[in-house]
C-alpha cells in the first residue's frame, strides 16, 4: 500500500485537483509515486490465473465458492450481455474523455458530490495524483450529459441507461449465486438477502480513463483499495492494467497478479459489504490499476449494493459458536461515510468490540 500523505489533497483548492488532459512528456513530481513495488508483480500464468467462470456451468455454485474463498475475484463468460452494447458504451466513453478539459470540468464533482467528473474519492488520502480521470454516474446521467454536449447528449444517456439496466439484472443474479455458494438455501436467501429484486439494488457506474503514460513504472492509475460494495463488475477494454493482491500461500509470497482483459468478460470482485454479510468468509480483495506506455486504457466499474436505507450485517446462519458476528450492521451510505473518513480502516471501525468511529 502506498503510504498516507503528509499533505492530503483535500486541502488543495478544487480546481488544482482536477485532472487535465495528461499531456506530459514525462511524469511530473505531482504524479510520481513511491512504494509501488511493495510486492512482486507476477504474470497471470499457472496458479496465478484468476478463475474464469462460465455462468452456464452446471457446477457454477461450487466454482464461485472456490473462487471467492481463494481469490475474492473471478472473470465471467456466459453472462448474456451483448458485445454490441459494450462496443457502443466504449465509444461513448472515448467520446466523453476526448472532450476538452474545460468542457469536462463543467460537470466537476464538488466535495461531497457522488456524480460527475473528477478524481476518484480515495484521492483525498494521497499526496500524489493518480494517472487517471473518472466520471461517476449515480442516478440519471441526463443533467451532466446536457452540460457535456449541447446537442447530442441523448446517445450517451441511452447507452448508459441500457447498460445500467442490464448490469443490475446481472449483478442481482451474481449476488444470489454468491449467497448460494456460501451454503445458504433459496429460503435462507429470501429471508436474509437485503436485495429483494434487481429494481431494489443500489448501483453506481464508474467510468475510468487511463491515458498512455511516458514512464508507467513511476506512477499509478488507481491506488490500491478495496471496493465498499457487495460486489463490483468491471469491464476493461483491450489494454491490461488491473492487478489483484494475492495473499501469501503455498504457491508463493504476497504478490500483485495482473487480470488480463479477456474480450466480452467482466471481472467480478468481492467488496467490503460482502465481507461483512458473509461474516468474513468471502473477503474483499485489494486491487489497483497500472498504466500503459502507449495505449489508452478505459474501464467501467459497476458497483452493486443494498438499497441505501437497508442495514447490512453478518447473515445469522453464517454466524455460530466458533465465530459470532464479526461486524455490526451498517447501511451502504453510512459505510461510505466511514470510508471517506477512514479509508482502509473503515472495516475495522465496524468490528464488534473495536468501534473507533
Among residues 50, 64, 220, 222, the one that binds ligand OGA under rule CB under 6 A:
222
Which residues are paired to 74 by β-bridges? Answer: 268
Name which of ligand OGA, Ni ion, none residue 289 binds, using a CB cut-off of 5 to 8 Å depending on partner kind: ligand OGA
272 binds Ni ion (CB under 5 A): no
Among residues 236, 278, 279, 331, the one that binds ligand OGA under rule CB under 6 A:
236
- Residue that has been written with the C-alpha cell 435462507 in this structure: 188
Are 101 and 20 within 8 A, CB to CB?
yes
Residue number with CB closer to ligand OGA (246 or 287): 287
209 binds ligand OGA (CB under 6 A): no
User: Could you confirm whether 297 is annotated as catalytic?
Assistant: yes
Name which of ligand OGA, Ni ion, none residue 246 binds, using a CB cut-off of 5 to 8 Å depending on partner kind: none
- Annotate 239-288 with DSSP letters as a single string: S--EEEEEPPBTTBSSEEEE----TT-EEEEE-HHHHHHTTTSS----EE
**Torsion-angle region of 197 (φ positive above 0: left; ψ -120 to 50: alpha; else: beta):** beta
109 binds ligand OGA (CB under 6 A): no
Q: CA–CA separation, 189 vs 29, rounded Å?
A: 50
Among residues 131, 205, 227, 228, the one that binds Ni ion under rule CB under 5 A:
227
Residue number with CB closer to ligand OGA (170 or 193): 170
Shortest distance, CB of residue 287 to Ni ion, whole angstroms?
6
Which is the catalytic residue, given 246, 281, 297, 339? 297
Q: CA–CA separation, 238 vs 254, rounded Å?
A: 27
Order of strands across the sheet that contains 297-305: 52-54, 73-77, 266-270, 231-236, 297-305, 202-210, 133-137, 116-118
Active site residues: 297
Binding site for Ni ion (CB under 5 A): 227
Binding site for ligand OGA (CB under 6 A): 206, 208, 222, 227, 234, 236, 241-242, 287, 289, 299, 301
Amino acid at each position: 500500500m502506498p503510504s498516507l500523505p503528509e499533505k492530503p489533497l483535500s486541502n488543495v483548492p478544487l480546481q488544482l485537483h482536477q485532472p487535465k488532459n495528461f499531456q506530459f512528456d514525462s511524469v511530473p513530481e505531482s504524479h510520481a509515486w513511491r512504494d509501488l513495488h511493495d510486492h512482486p508483480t507476477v504474470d497471470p500464468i499457472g496458479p496465478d490465473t484468476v478463475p474464469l467462470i462460465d455462468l452456464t456451468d452446471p457446477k457454477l455454485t461450487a466454482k464461485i465458492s472456490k473462487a471467492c474463498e481463494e481469490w475474492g475475484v473471478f472473470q465471467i463468460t456466459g453472462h448474456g450481455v451483448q458485445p454490441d452494447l459494450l462496443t457502443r458504451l466504449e465509444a461513448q466513453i472515448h467520446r466523453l474523455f476526448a472532450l476538452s478539459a474545460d468542457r469536462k470540468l463543467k460537470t466537476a464533482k464538488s466535495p461531497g458530490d457522488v456524480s460527475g467528473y473528477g478524481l476518484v474519492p480515495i484521492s483525498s488520502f494521497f499526496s500524489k495524483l493518480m494517472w487517471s480521470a473518472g466520471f461517476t454516474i449515480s442516478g440519471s446521467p441526463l443533467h451532466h450529459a446536457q452540460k457535456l454536449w449541447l446537442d447530442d447528449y441523448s446517445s450517451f444517456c441511452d447507452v448508459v441507461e441500457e447498460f445500467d439496466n442490464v448490469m443490475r439484472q446481472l449483478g442481482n443474479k451474481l449476488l444470489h449465486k454468491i449467497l448460494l455458494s456460501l451454503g445458504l438455501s433459496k429460503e435462507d436467501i429470501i429471508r436474509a438477502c437485503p436485495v429483494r429484486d434487481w429494481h431494489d439494488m443500489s448501483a453506481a457506474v464508474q467510468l475510468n480513463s487511463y491515458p498512455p503514460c511516458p514512464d508507467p513504472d513511476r506512477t499509478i492509475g488507481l491506488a490500491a483499495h478495496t471496493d465498499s460494495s457487495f460486489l463490483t463488475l468491471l469491464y476493461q477494454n483491450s489494454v491490461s492494467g488491473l492487478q489483484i493482491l494475492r495473499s501469501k500461500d503455498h504457491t508463493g509470497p504476497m504478490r500483485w497478479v495482473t487480470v488480463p482483459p479477456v474480450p466480452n468478460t467482466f471481472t467480478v470482485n468481492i467488496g467490503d459489504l460482502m465481507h461483512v454479510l458473509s461474516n468474513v468468509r468471502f473477503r474483499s480483495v485489494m486491487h489497483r490499476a497500472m498504466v500503459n506506455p502507449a495505449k489508452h486504457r478505459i474501464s467501467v466499474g459497476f458497483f452493486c449494493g443494498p438499497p441505501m436505507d437497508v442495514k447490512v450485517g453478518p447473515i445469522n446462519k453464517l454466524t455460530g459458536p466458533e465465530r459470532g458476528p464479526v461486524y455490526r450492521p451498517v447501511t451502504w451510505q453510512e459505510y461510505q461515510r466511514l470510508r471517506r473518513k477512514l479509508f482502509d480502516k473503515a472495516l475495522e471501525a465496524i468490528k464488534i468490540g473495536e468501534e473507533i468511529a
